[in-house]
């Protein structure tokens, strides 16, 4: 793994790291070049909240794949623990885990990406989510405390929103596509000159020159 002196910031390249996973060794972000991927950490195998999350991620895996997004799990448990836990989930809950799970160390990727909670044991990661685009750029980070399970719907939503923003050059409102104010519409970039600002005043889908929206298609 390359030496990392601080956490990467949004808009920066995801650090190049070699990892051991339940599906063999991988190099991130190289092995996902040209694809989006979501790297998510969990505190520990064989824990109730993490188990509910893995089941939910697995059941929604096809929805991520339809968006061109690969899922990757991670914790500081050993690879043997990951394999046994995945077997337990399939045997007892009837859910097959279709994505790789990284076996990390407390001094590895987890520490470099700020996933070791300073107020908790150094042997557990927080619930972090990293969304990386096809160019290997870190686009979104979300951190949850160990006690709070994530919403997979929200992770799907933000990935869709990022892809829409990139494709159409627009922004998305709160809770898009179910915003109380403008529904599934998207927000146009603000006017950057006086002529455009004047042209937008009074338009149907503009609250003001700096706040215009339109249907996505």
pLDDT at 217: 85
Q: 66 — phi, psi (to 5°)?
A: -65, -25
Confidence of residue 118 (pLDDT cuts 50, 70, 90): low
pLDDT at 6: 64
**pLDDT higher than threshold 70 for residue 5:** no
* 138-144 vs 101-103, strand pairing mode: unpaired
| Marked catalytic residue, from 19, 28, 39, 50 | 50
Q: Could you tell me the CA-to-CA distances from 44 to 1, 49, 50, 133, 155 in Å, in that order?
A: 22, 9, 7, 27, 20
The angle subtended at Cα 126 by Cα 131 and Cα 18, nearest 5°, is 55
How many Å apart are CA 111 and CA 88, to the nearest integer?
A: 28
pLDDT at 173: 98
CATH 3.40.30.10 domain range(s) in the chain:
17-150
Report the mean per-residue pLDDT for the chain.
Answer: 91
How many Å apart are CA 55 and CA 61, to the nearest integer?
A: 10
- Told to judge if 212 belongs to the known catalytic residues of this protein, a careful annotator would answer no
Confidence of residue 212 (pLDDT cuts 50, 70, 90): very high
- 8 A C-beta contact, residue 165 and residue 157: no
CATH 3.30.1020.10 domain range(s) in the chain:
169-217
Beta bridge partners of 157: none
Confidence of residue 121 (pLDDT cuts 50, 70, 90): low
**pLDDT higher than threshold 50 for residue 2:** no
Confidence of residue 124 (pLDDT cuts 50, 70, 90): confident
CB-CB neighbours of 25 under 10 Å = 9
Q: Considering the entire predicted model, what is its pTM?
A: 0.90
Confidence of residue 211 (pLDDT cuts 50, 70, 90): very high
- The per-residue pLDDT for range 141-174, each reduced to its tens digit, is 999 988 899 999 999 999 999 999 999 999 999 9
The angle subtended at Cα 25 by Cα 19 and Cα 31, nearest 5°, is 85
Q: Half-sphere exposure of 43 toward its Cβ, with a 13 Å CA cutoff?
A: 20
pLDDT at 105: 73
How many Å apart are CA 128 and CA 109, to the nearest integer?
A: 12
**pLDDT higher than threshold 50 for residue 32:** yes
- The per-residue pLDDT for range 81-112, each reduced to its tens digit, is 999 999 999 999 999 999 999 998 766 777 77
Domain 169-217: homologous superfamily in CATH:
Antioxidant, Horf6; Chain A, domain2 (3.30.1020.10)
- Highest mean pLDDT out of 43-47, 142-146, 157-161, 187-191: 157-161
How many Å apart are CA 126 and CA 116, to the nearest integer?
A: 6
Yes or no: is domain 17-150 CATH 3.40.50.300? no
How many Å apart are CA 10 and CA 34, to the nearest integer?
A: 18
């Amino acid at each position: 793994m390359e030496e990392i002196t601080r956490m990467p910031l949004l808009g920066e390249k995801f650090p190049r790291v070699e990892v051991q996973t339940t599906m063999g060794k991988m190099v991130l972000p190289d092995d996902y070049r040209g694809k989006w991927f979501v790297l998510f950490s969990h505190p520990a195998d064989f824990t109730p909240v993490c188990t509910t999350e893995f089941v939910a991620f697995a059941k929604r895996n096809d929805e991520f794949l339809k968006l061109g997004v690969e899922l990757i799990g991670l914790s500081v448990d050993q690879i043997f623990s990951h394999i046994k836990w995945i077997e337990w989930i399939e045997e007892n809950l009837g859910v097959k885990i279709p994505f790789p799970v990284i076996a990390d160390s407390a001094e590895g990727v987890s520490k470099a990406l700020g996933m070791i909670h300073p107020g908790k044991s150094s042997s557990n990661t927080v619930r972090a989510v990293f969304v990386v685009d096809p160019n290997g750029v870190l686009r979104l980070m979300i951190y949850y405390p160990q006690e709070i399970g994530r919403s997979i719907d929200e992770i799907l939503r933000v990935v869709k929103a990022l892809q829409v923003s990139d494709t159409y050059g627009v922004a998305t409102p709160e809770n898009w596509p179910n915003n109380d104010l403008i529904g599934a519409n998207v927000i146009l970039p603000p006017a950057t000159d006086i002529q455009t600002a004047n042209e937008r005043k009074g338009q149907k889908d503009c609250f003001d020159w700096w706040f215009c929206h339109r249907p996505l298609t």
